[in-house]
Structure 1
Amino acid sequence: MSDHAPVIIDVAGTRLTADDRRRLSDPLVGGMILFGRNWESREQVAALCAEVKQVRDDLLISVDHEGGRVQRFRTDGFTHLPPMRRFGEMWMKDARGREGSGAMRAMAAATAAGYVLGAELRACGVDLSFTPVLDLDFGASSVIGDRSFHRDPRIVTLLARALMQGLLQAGVANCGKHFPGHGYVKADSHLEIPVDDRALKTILEDDAVPYEWLGTALASVMPAHVIYPKVDKLPAGFSPKWLNDVLREKLQFQGAIFSDDLSMAGARRIDGREVTYTQAAVVALQAGCDMVLLCNESVNSEGGRAIDELLEGLAQARDRREWQANEASEQRRLALLPCGPAPSWDHLMTEPRYMRALQLLP
């Protein structure tokens, strides 16, 4: 067992192959992320998660499952959850003569959504969902759009806290994203490197405020593949200034930090030069990330060779002391694992809290 397992990988299909098992057994691998292609049915995805835990019971199983257009599992009983903007809209609609009633209803509904989201994932064996989105809705970003709760950081903070409370009740870890904020820029970091020209003071007083106010409740954070040139020439996820000086030191965040997907265009150029996955991972780990994600490389034409190259390259880089295994990082990873056993789906379907939560959804 490595004293630091920082790599989160994916698998190609609905069952583990021999290559998947070999990669998941690698001491540098700390978990896996599920996608829509890994889904056929609840029974199948639960069996897949159980297979992963049989390889190593400390592997963290994660998924991008927010609601709205970012929801990996949508059939076979999974509830179609609304986009987060719906809760922000609820907040603004008070009942006649009852000021603040919209806010109360919205928070109750967001907690219910977090519980339904988390409980359904947990019943299938998933440990963490990469939610909530804490980006502010400036109306500019097509990739964020209705994934954001609101433009006002106070409303974003309170609705995110409510959603996270529901996740916590379900036993599923959360991840606030995309630090310090992806909502202001138009470009999609999956395809290019967005640039946000605002000053640090402006960002800290607006976009980054939810991270400060939620610091003790967030289990993990994912930085943006965005460059903020007035702060650093490096994208936030590769920047010691953002991750150590701002997030760790100034905002006093104690949880885990994930890199965003290293296969995204925003991660393939660092400081003006093309980089390999290994080079990107080393820079991210040196900058302060506890874990790095490499997504969708198991389905490329080379049968996942990029994953093998990353694991081999990262091991060699560690041996050359280009990055160092970090015991604190490993403890933060292990803290994301659930404490108790997952309930069965059948049990969940008759649970009073779950039934009530469904009634509260908008």
Structure 2
Amino acid sequence: MTLKAFISGCSGAFLNDAERRFFAEHRPCGLILFARNCETPDQIRALVAAFREAVGSEQVLVLIDQEGGRVQRLRPPHWRNMPPARCYGHLYEKDRGAGKAAAFAGARLIAQELHALGINVNCTPVLDVPEKGAHEIIGDRAFSDDPEVVAVLGRAVMDGTLAGGVLPVIKHVPGHGRARADSHLSLPCIEADARDLEAIDFRPFHALRDAPLAMTAHVLLPCYDERRPATTSPVIMREVIRGTIGLEGLVMSDDIGMQALRGPYADRAREVIDAGCDVVLHCSGDFAEMLDTARATPPLEGLAAERFARARSFLHAPEPFDETEAMALVSEAAGSPVA
């Protein structure tokens, strides 16, 4: 049976009977984990195994947001507390080689933890370029306000993640850095013109256009589409994300449960696919929303299936690395020992 073109959340640390039946029937191509799903290493491994068993496939993706800083679903005592991306940017400003090495090392250490749990996708690096006065939702999650630095360190994180046997997701294409609102709560409108967007916001994404996976931004860019946010805009998907930026990999939506999007969940899912996104992401674990999303989502086929297979082809056994050296590099960027 074919997988469906959506990634789902679940409600807790273990699958309940309804969720098992849901995953067996609708067969999402991925599962995304949040803090509510993560208690101990053994519990997460059991949850991941139960999802794969219910779907009946080892080809599925298991995702998490483990950026470091404010956005990390796994925390002490079982997992390291990692610094935010901006720490690597600050170190890069002082010593470019050290900054790149630390960003790679941080990603490699996180990938080591995820791989051990059966998690094969980390939703990082953030390639957004913050603008002065923008909402703090991005803030120190960004490496720098210089697009060239963002591209260099984003590449280092992408490479470190892949070296650890985990797939990276570049986000939030085509750029959330200028937003003056949090798209979890409302739809940001970015009034910049196309020339400025191409010169700054799009540059890191273009530099990493070979990334296996990407996630959209729920932002309105009136210079391209006055009505629809990037996630549901065929114009932005075709002309900007696949065209100007030139992304080659699988593109998933950001969470369709965010308040930047409107309407019933079935409509949101259909709009995402109709716009040209390959995969719908739904995160809340709310069962009624999961059903509506699944019923409106098509099978993963055609170009989307090809991109999914290509993304999975990047997965390989983790490469050897010196964990002690990596910890020292990250601690230098953080300004204190990482535990």
The answer as to whether partners of 2:164 and 2:318 remain within 8 angstroms in 1 is no
- The alignment status of 1:311 with 2:286, answered yes or no, reads no
Q: State the distance in 1 between where 2:283 and 2:168 align.
A: 19
- Shift in CA distance, 44/325, structure 1 to aligned 2, threshold 3 Å: closer
What is the Cα deviation at residue 27 of structure 1? 4.1
Q: Select the residue among 145, 150, 154 that pairs with 1:151.
A: 145
Deviation per CA, 1:196-216, whole angstroms, max 9, x where unpaired? 011112101111001111112
Q: State the distance in 2 between where 1:21 and 1:244 align.
A: 36
Q: State the distance in 2 between where 1:313 and 1:90 align.
A: 46
Three-state SS of the structure 2 residue aligned to 1:258 is strand
Aligned partner of 1:244 in structure 2 is 238
**Which amino acid in structure 1 is aligned with residue 326 of structure 2?**
A
Q: State the distance in 1 between where 2:112 and 2:224 align.
A: 40
Three-state SS of the structure 2 residue aligned to 1:23 is helix
Q: Select the residue among 308, 313, 336 that pairs with 2:311.
A: 336
The answer as to whether partners of 1:7 and 1:294 remain within 8 angstroms in 2 is yes
The answer as to whether partners of 2:165 and 2:317 remain within 8 angstroms in 1 is no
Structure 2, unmatched stretches of 5+, are 334-339
The answer as to whether partners of 1:261 and 1:267 remain within 8 angstroms in 2 is no
Q: State the distance in 2 between where 1:126 and 1:277 align.
A: 26
Q: Select the residue among 98, 105, 122 that pairs with 2:98.
A: 105
Three-state SS of the structure 1 residue aligned to 2:183 is coil
Q: State the distance in 2 between where 1:287 and 1:219 align.
A: 19
**Which amino acid in structure 1 is aligned with residue 291 of structure 2?**
D
Q: State the distance in 2 between where 1:166 and 1:266 align.
A: 32
**Which amino acid in structure 2 is aligned with residue 179 of structure 1?**
V
Q: State the distance in 2 between where 1:179 and 1:246 align.
A: 9
- Shift in CA distance, 199/50, structure 1 to aligned 2, threshold 3 Å: same
- Shift in CA distance, 49/342, structure 1 to aligned 2, threshold 3 Å: farther
Three-state SS of the structure 2 residue aligned to 1:86 is helix
What is the Cα deviation at residue 43 of structure 1? 1.5
Aligned partner of 1:71 in structure 2 is 72
Q: State the distance in 2 between where 1:229 and 1:168 align.
A: 35
Aligned partner of 1:97 in structure 2 is none
Aligned partner of 1:286 in structure 2 is 274
The answer as to whether partners of 1:108 and 1:360 remain within 8 angstroms in 2 is yes
What is the Cα deviation at residue 78 of structure 1? 1.2
What is the Cα deviation at residue 313 of structure 1? 3.6
What is the Cα deviation at residue 330 of structure 1? 1.6
- The alignment status of 1:166 with 2:160, answered yes or no, reads yes
Aligned partner of 2:10 in structure 1 is 11
Deviation per CA, 1:140-174, whole angstroms, max 9, x where unpaired? 22110110000110000000101111101101111
Aligned partner of 2:122 in structure 1 is 129
Q: Select the residue among 122, 131, 135 that pairs with 1:138.
A: 131
- Shift in CA distance, 15/342, structure 1 to aligned 2, threshold 3 Å: farther
Q: Percent identity?
A: 33
Aligned partner of 1:84 in structure 2 is 85
Three-state SS of the structure 2 residue aligned to 1:177 is strand
Please identify the structure whose Cα radius of gyration is greater: 1
What is the Cα deviation at residue 262 of structure 1? 0.6
What is the Cα deviation at residue 352 of structure 1? 5.0
What is the Cα deviation at residue 341 of structure 1? 6.0
**Which amino acid in structure 1 is aligned with residue 31 of structure 2?**
M
CA RMSD, 1 decimal: 1.8
Paired positions, count: 326
Q: TM-score, length-normalised on structure 2? A: 0.91
Q: State the distance in 2 between where 1:188 and 1:21 align.
A: 33
**Which amino acid in structure 2 is aligned with residue 131 of structure 1?**
T
- The alignment status of 1:327 with 2:302, answered yes or no, reads yes
Aligned partner of 2:337 in structure 1 is none
Q: State the distance in 1 between where 2:154 and 2:201 align.
A: 14
What is the Cα deviation at residue 53 of structure 1? 2.1
**Which amino acid in structure 2 is aligned with residue 358 of structure 1?**
M
Q: TM-score, length-normalised on structure 1? A: 0.86
**Which amino acid in structure 2 is aligned with residue 110 of structure 1?**
A
**Which amino acid in structure 2 is aligned with residue 333 of structure 1?**
F
Aligned partner of 1:41 in structure 2 is 40
- Shift in CA distance, 200/352, structure 1 to aligned 2, threshold 3 Å: closer
Three-state SS of the structure 2 residue aligned to 1:260 is strand
Three-state SS of the structure 1 residue aligned to 2:31 is strand
**Which amino acid in structure 1 is aligned with residue 304 of structure 2?**
S
Aligned partner of 1:176 in structure 2 is 170
Three-state SS of the structure 1 residue aligned to 2:67 is strand
Three-state SS of the structure 2 residue aligned to 1:175 is strand
Three-state SS of the structure 2 residue aligned to 1:32 is strand
Three-state SS of the structure 1 residue aligned to 2:215 is strand
Task: Give the stretch that moved more between structures: 11-20 or 105-114.
Answer: 11-20
